[in-house]
């Protein structure tokens, strides 16, 4: 399938915008992990996103009710994996494992997307695309190891890392499912359906969380975080990502996802005052080169 120049540009822009939004979500949400439990944050994130979509997409959802019944199984699986599962697992992993491990494992998702897309969607897995992805991954490894082989050798893994692997796998599978959205669904209608489905699937866990968690409700100083996660990372981020996958394919969108640590580094510099080292500069160059190399192949 040929990709027009304008579609390619728009698709790349959407993928980069989604990645930038998600990077900000990671920075902000991580700073409030002591006041918000993973399930509470995940549940209210999707409640906010779903509520914002109601007045916008309700008419489209009603018009697509026959499609919803026909493809209920597909919508259910997509909501379970992409909405209920992915972010909840990531938030849970962040409670018990290091940020270094989380970031390293998260960067395996794009490679998984490319491999799965080649098997199930027929997207070409060329040598150029593989080289670009590996180059970007090398930049990520350099970034979080700070250029020290000893740091990589001494990395330890725990149950939180396994949760992160599950979360990254959910993201990869979700990206492939988005590529197979049944014809007839509008972007907002589709998102509204899976957002509400995913929220309802999380509701029983949230009720359990209210009775057992050390942070069952939303503290006032965390409201802005929930709003950002709901409107920015959920609604805007998913809409941009879905649009990108539909325009340029899951493989190229996955390559852009490697910009996540670069955007996270910029956010950390602006909001947390962290300095940028030579290792981060070289890592950023490798990541950018890998993304560019993976995306500049013939668009067919």
What is residue 299's predicted lDDT score, i.e. its pLDDT?
Answer: 45
* DSSP-based three-state secondary structure for 214: coil
Q: How far apart are CA 258 and CA 107, in angstroms?
A: 7
> CB within 8 A of 81, min separation 6: which ones?
170, 173, 174, 177
- Tell me whether residue 130 is in a domain: yes
Q: Is residue 9 part of a domain?
A: yes
- Give the mean model confidence (pLDDT) for residues 100-124: 69
Going by the DSSP 8-state scheme, the letter that residue 222 receives in this structure is G
Contact (Cβ atoms closer than 8 angstroms) between residue 284 and residue 23: no
Residues 270-293 pLDDT 10s: 765 666 667 767 777 777 677 667
Q: Which domain holds residue 97?
A: 5-295
In-domain check, residue 22: yes
For the chain, give the mean pLDDT: 79
The pLDDT-based confidence of 148 (bands split at 50, 70, 90) is: confident
Q: pLDDT tens for residues 49-70?
A: 999 988 889 999 999 999 999 9
- 44: closest CA among 163, 168, 190, 206? 206
Greater confidence (208 vs 101) lies with 208
pLDDT for 74 equals: 96
Q: CA 227, 274, 292, 178: dihedral to nearest 10 degrees?
A: -20
Q: Does residue 300 sit within a domain?
A: no
Find how far residue 13's CA is from the centre of its chain: 16
**pLDDT surpasses 70 at 1:** no
Residue 298 has a pLDDT of 47
CA nearest to 196, candidates 106, 72, 112:
72
Asked whether 229 and 195 are in contact (CB, 8 A), the reply is no
**d(C-alpha 75, C-alpha 194), whole Å:** 6
Residue 78 neighbours by CB distance under 10 Å: 22
C-alpha dist (Å) from residue 137 to 1, 18, 62, 99? 27, 19, 43, 17
If one counts the domains in the chain, the total is 1
- Token digits of residue 32: 């409030």
Give domain status of residue 152, yes or no.
Answer: yes
pLDDT band at 103, cuts 50/70/90? low
Highest average pLDDT, of 1-10, 39-48, 69-78, 86-95, comes from 69-78
- Residue 185 belongs to a domain: yes
What would the two tokens of residue 268 be?
């950390």
Contact status, residue 198 vs residue 80, Cβ threshold 8 Å = yes
- How many angstroms separate the CA atoms of 173 and 45, rounded? 21
Residue 181 lies in a domain: yes
**What is the reported pLDDT for 196?**
94
Handedness of CA 300, 1, 175, 169 (dihedral sign): negative
Query: What pLDDT is stored for residue 78 in this prediction?
Result: 96
R_g (Cα) of the chain, nearest Å: 19
Task: Express each pLDDT in 168-196 by its tens digit.
Answer: 889 889 988 988 899 889 888 999 999 99
Of residues 25, 16, 20, 159, the one with CA closest to residue 87 = 25
pLDDT digits (tens, 9 = 90+) for 244-277: 988 888 778 877 887 877 787 777 677 656 666 6
Tokens of 57: 């997409």
Distance CA 106, CA 97 (A): 13
With respect to residue 201, please indicate whether it lies within any of the assigned structural domains: yes
């Amino acid at each position: 399938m040929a990709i027009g120049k304008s579609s390619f540009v728009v698709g790349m822009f959407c993928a980069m915008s989604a990645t930038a939004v998600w990077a900000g979500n990671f920075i902000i949400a991580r700073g409030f992990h002591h006041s918000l439990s993973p399930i509470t944050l995940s549940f209210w994130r999707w409640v906010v996103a779903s509520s914002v979509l109601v007045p916008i997409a309700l008419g489209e959802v009603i018009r697509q009710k026959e499609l919803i019944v026909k493809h209920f199984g597909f919508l259910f699986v997509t909501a379970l994996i992409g909405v209920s599962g992915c972010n909840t697992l990531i938030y849970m992993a962040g409670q018990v494992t290091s940020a270094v491990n989380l970031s390293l494992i998260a960067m395996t998702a794009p490679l998984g997307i490319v491999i799965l897309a080649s098997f199930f969607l027929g997207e070409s897995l060329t040598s150029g695309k593989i080289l670009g992805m590996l180059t970007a991954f090398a930049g990520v490894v350099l970034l979080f190891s700070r250029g020290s082989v000893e740091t990589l050798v001494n990395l330890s893994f725990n149950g939180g890392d396994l949760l992160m692997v599950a979360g990254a796998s959910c993201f990869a599978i979700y990206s492939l499912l988005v590529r197979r959205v049944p014809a007839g669904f509008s972007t907002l209608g589709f998102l509204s359906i899976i957002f509400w489905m995913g929220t309802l699937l999380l509701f029983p866990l949230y009720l359990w969380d209210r009775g057992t968690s050390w942070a069952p409700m939303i503290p006032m100083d965390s409201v802005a975080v929930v709003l950002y996660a709901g409107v920015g990372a959920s609604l805007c981020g998913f809409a941009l990502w879905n649009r990108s996958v539909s325009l340029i394919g899951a493989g190229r969108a996955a390559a852009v996802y490697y910009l996540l640590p670069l955007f996270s580094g910029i956010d950390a510099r602006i909001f947390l005052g962290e300095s940028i080292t030579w290792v981060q500069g070289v890592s950023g160059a490798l990541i950018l080169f890998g993304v560019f190399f993976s995306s500049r192949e013939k668009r067919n």
